[in-house]
């Protein structure tokens, strides 16, 4: 069959398949950090078209890619879809405009024209000319997930030679991890994921220094599963774990509760209250909470002085805990001694935050001698910057983050570990190398993962001999306030320096600076929303009253300049 005939067959297949998934009337879809999201019943056409995008991405890269159906921390009636690149990270930004254009194509003919035009520009061959595309599919527990999974399969099948691998009900991080592993030529099943986490956790627990486990470091942690997929998966994994007592609540069992309703990391972190099912009986317990698809993690403790309040330990403090542990291991690894391998393994350890990180956390990290870099808001920016380091740690305050080890660095670390095993097995140097290698296997390097993050937090607290109070006392967060200002055109504001400084309109940054100068430890920045015509205002100061006043005064300036 000639390429002309193959292209014609592909054209007809796309036309016929897409006619079964018409665009919902009056809706426009945009692809961002969260992929596409909307009410689940409105998404079949979008997910069908995302299936096409995933196939083209696979053909372009010559590797498997992932497609995850989830709406994370959104209400249960919402759903969404996001695409994972071959390395397990989010789809490259370069393809987002095409994904949006395809999702909003008004009719089948327009869709086909877009596909053929884009594939020509990208040098992608259609028509089954020997190159196969492979898409790993996953979904969470939302009621619309099954129907949307079928829409995704139909989108994938609409491209000749594409194959869909249904990996089942998964957390979002599991799907990203599977894509990453598959493209490294490794096994990519859920059982392997569980085994890797449990074995690396056991390795780290076995190397907790003797005498550091204080009586106050309880092995028990109570986890809110947000009535989502993460609770169910943690129940399975905990059977393989030794040395930790995990109690799961809001695990998503039928009749137990509603996904993300009064539960979950997003709810706890924003409202600063305990999730449903937690109360005065839990005073003193170390508690953690996932979001609906288990890619965010925050900790909390029920306040003994106020049963309605909590002591929140957010992503900033999780990052700080990890950074101190990694820094300690690097120091031990490169400390001079008589172990016979005194060659220093030069390591660039980088800490990556956004401007939304509490200023107290950034100051604390810098005081520890750590390199801290700010990026624009969004995991895709954080992940990219962290990947530039030998070891890069990033977290958002909302609890999404991870630790990245470069492949080159891991190779050098493994070599040094092997040398130490020959010359000084069991030495502190050797143990530090083993710990770092175990961390690289425990933490999910593809994307933020609440389950792997939870296990690393627990083993680091044991290693440090820290109670929950010790962790809380690392530093005191500065009071903050966030406000929204509705504007006619959010693009009227442009920013620089990781969104901390306004370029346009002229004069606005000077007005903001004059307000900041009025407050002790004042800090404030404004940035346009990525999806709606509002300007977000973030302010910090030494007291809550001052932070509130700073946010309000800057909001008035934004309104004046853009009104």
Annotated binding site for substrate, which residues? 396-398, 527-531, 536
CA dist 357 and 398 (Å) reads 9
CA dist 246 and 367 (Å) reads 34
CA dist 352 and 357 (Å) reads 10
The angle that helices 428-442 and 407-423 make with each other, rounded to 10 degrees, is: 150
List 301's β-bridge partners, or say none: 311
To the query of whether residue 72 is one of the catalytic residues in this protein, the response is: yes
List 353's β-bridge partners, or say none: 374
CA angle 44, 47, 49 (to 5 degrees): 110
List 290's β-bridge partners, or say none: 297
CA angle 216, 221, 226 (to 5 degrees): 150
Upstream peptide bond of 505 is cis (omega within 30 degrees of 0): yes
What CA–CA distances, in Å, run from 88 to 47, 66, 67, 179, 396? 19, 8, 11, 5, 19
Token pair for 458: 């627990």
CA dist 213 and 195 (Å) reads 25
Q: Which of 17, 18, 45, 72 is catalytic?
A: 72
Backbone angles phi, psi at 323, to 5 degrees: -65, -40
Token pair for 55: 């196939």
Q: Which residues are annotated as a binding site?
A: 72, 291, 293, 295, 396-398, 527-531, 536
Q: State how far Cα 131 lies from the chain centre.
A: 32
Alpha helix (H) residue ranges in 400-474? 407-423, 428-442, 450-464, 468-472
CA dihedral 519, 521, 526, 530 (to 10 degrees): -150
| Sign of the CA dihedral with 286 first, then 292, 297, and 302 last | negative
Q: Are 147 and 45 in contact (CB under 8 A)?
A: no
CA dist 162 and 363 (Å) reads 50
Backbone angles phi, psi at 334, to 5 degrees: -105, 10
Burial of residue 75, with CB atoms counted within 10 A of its CB: 0-12 exposed, 13-18 middle, 19 or more buried? middle
CA dist 133 and 283 (Å) reads 52
CA dist 212 and 223 (Å) reads 24
| DSSP helix/strand/coil, 520 | coil
Backbone angles phi, psi at 222, to 5 degrees: -105, 125
Residue owning tokens 């600076």: 513
CA dist 17 and 150 (Å) reads 13
Pick the closest to residue 527 from 377, 315, 357 (CA basis): 377
Q: State how far Cα 558 lies from the chain centre.
A: 31
Q: Which positions are catalytic?
A: 72
């Amino acid at each position: 069959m000639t390429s002309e005939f193959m292209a014609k067959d592909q054209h007809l297949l796309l036309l016929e398949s897409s006619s079964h998934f018409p665009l919902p009337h009056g809706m426009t879809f945009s692809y961002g950090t969260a992929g596409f999201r909307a009410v689940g019943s409105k998404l079949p056409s979008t997910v069908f078209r995302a299936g096409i995008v995933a196939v083209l991405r696979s053909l372009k890269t010559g590797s498997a890619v992932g497609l995850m159906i989830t709406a994370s921390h959104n209400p249960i009636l919402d759903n969404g879809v996001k695409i994972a690149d071959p390395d397990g990270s989010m789809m490259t930004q370069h393809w987002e405009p095409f994904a949006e254009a395809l999702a909003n194509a008004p009719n089948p003919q327009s869709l086909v024209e877009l596909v053929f035009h884009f594939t020509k520009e990208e040098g992608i061959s259609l028509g089954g000319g020997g190159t196969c595309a492979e898409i790993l599919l996953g979904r969470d527990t939302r009621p619309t997930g099954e129907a949307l999974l079928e829409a995704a399969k139909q989108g994938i099948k609409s491209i000749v030679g594409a194959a869909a691998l249904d990996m089942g009900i998964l957390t979002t991080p599991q799907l990203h991890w599977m894509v990453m592993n598959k493209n490294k030529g490794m096994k990519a099943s859920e059982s392997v994921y569980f085994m890797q986490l449990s074995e690396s956790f056991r390795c780290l627990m076995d190397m907790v220094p003797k005498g550091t486990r204080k009586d106050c470091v309880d092995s028990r942690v109570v986890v809110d599963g947000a009535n989502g997929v993460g609770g169910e998966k943690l129940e399975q994994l905990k059977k393989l774990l030794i040395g930790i007592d995990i109690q799961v609540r809001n695990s998503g069992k039928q009749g137990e509760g509603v996904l993300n309703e009064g539960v979950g990391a997003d709810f706890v972190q924003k409202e600063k209250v305990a999730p449903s099912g937690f109360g005065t009986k839990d005073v003193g317990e170390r508690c953690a909470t996932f979001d609906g698809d288990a890619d965010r993690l925050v900790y909390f403790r029920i306040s003994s002085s106020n049963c309605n309040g909590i002591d929140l330990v957010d992503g900033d403090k999780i990052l700080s805990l990890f950074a101190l542990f990694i820094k300690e291991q690097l120091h031990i690894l490169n400390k001079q001694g008589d172990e016979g391998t005194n060659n220093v393994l030069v390591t660039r350890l980088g800490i990556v935050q956004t401007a939304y990180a509490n200023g107290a956390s950034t100051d604390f990290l810098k005081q520890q001698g750590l390199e801290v870099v700010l990026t624009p808001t969004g995991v895709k920016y954080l992940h990219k910057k962290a990947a530039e380091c030998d070891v890069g740690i990033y977290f958002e305050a909302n609890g999404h983050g991870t630790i990245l080890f470069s492949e080159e660095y891991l190779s050098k670390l493994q070599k040094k570990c092997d040398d130490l095993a020959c010359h000084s097995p069991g030495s502190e140097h050797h143990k530090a190398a083993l710990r770092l290698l175990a961390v690289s296997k425990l933490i999910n390097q593809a994307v933020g993962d609440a389950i792997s993050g939870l296990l690393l937090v627990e083993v680091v607290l044991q290693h440090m001999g820290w109670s929950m109070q010790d962790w809380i006392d690392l530093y005191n967060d500065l009071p903050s306030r966030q406000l929204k200002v509705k504007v006619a055109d959010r693009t009227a504001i442009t920013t620089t320096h990781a969104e901390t400084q306004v370029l346009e309109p002229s004069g606005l940054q000077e007005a903001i600076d004059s307000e900041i100068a009025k407050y002790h430890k004042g800090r404030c920045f404004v940035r346009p929303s990525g999806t709606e015509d509002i300007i977000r205002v973030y302010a910090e100061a030494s007291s809550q009253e001052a932070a509130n006043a700073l946010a309000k005064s800057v909001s008035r300036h934004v309104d004046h300049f853009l009104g």
